[in-house]
Amino acid sequence: MSSYPPLLDELCCRTALFIKSCLESDSPIVSTVACYGIYYGRMNSHLGQNAFFYCSRYDVTDILSVTRHMVSHYVNSHISTQHRASVLLLLKLLFVRERVVSCPLFRQTILICLLILYAFF
């Protein structure tokens, strides 16, 4: 768990923000083509298909309401407690392995075995 969202959500967010910038563009050609692709072409247009996917994924009714903060909140709300606990345990084991935190109860070989076993389960 880092401060970055999963790759799919990062790509969705960037593309949604690109679509939003196209719709709000000062160029009448760009905004008209984007508007047509999303609101009229819908599923016949790649832009419309992407906008529909993002709206359904993030449970919004308009692509203009997708923001980076909202995507981050969506990602954080969909991480299970078990997943958070697993990641924190791995982080603590890595800290001990790298000697950031000392733990005299573990030998280095036992710690490496724990890391390998826990990472695969």
CA distance 83 to 92: 14
- Taken in order 62, 64, 70, 74, the sign of the CA dihedral is positive
Give, for all 121 residues of the chain, the pLDDT tens digit: 556 678 888 999 999 999 999 999 999 999 999 999 998 888 888 889 999 999 999 988 888 888 898 888 888 787 777 777 777 777 777 777 777 766 666 666 666 666 666 665 5
String of DSSP letters for 8-32: HHHHHHHHHHHHHHHHT-S-HHHHH
> Are the CB atoms for 84 and 1 separated by under 8 Å?
yes
The pLDDT of residue 108? 62
The pLDDT of residue 107? 66
- Domain edges within the chain: 7-77, 81-120
CA distance 71 to 9: 7
The pLDDT of residue 88? 76
- Residue 62 is encoded by which pair of tokens? 């308009």
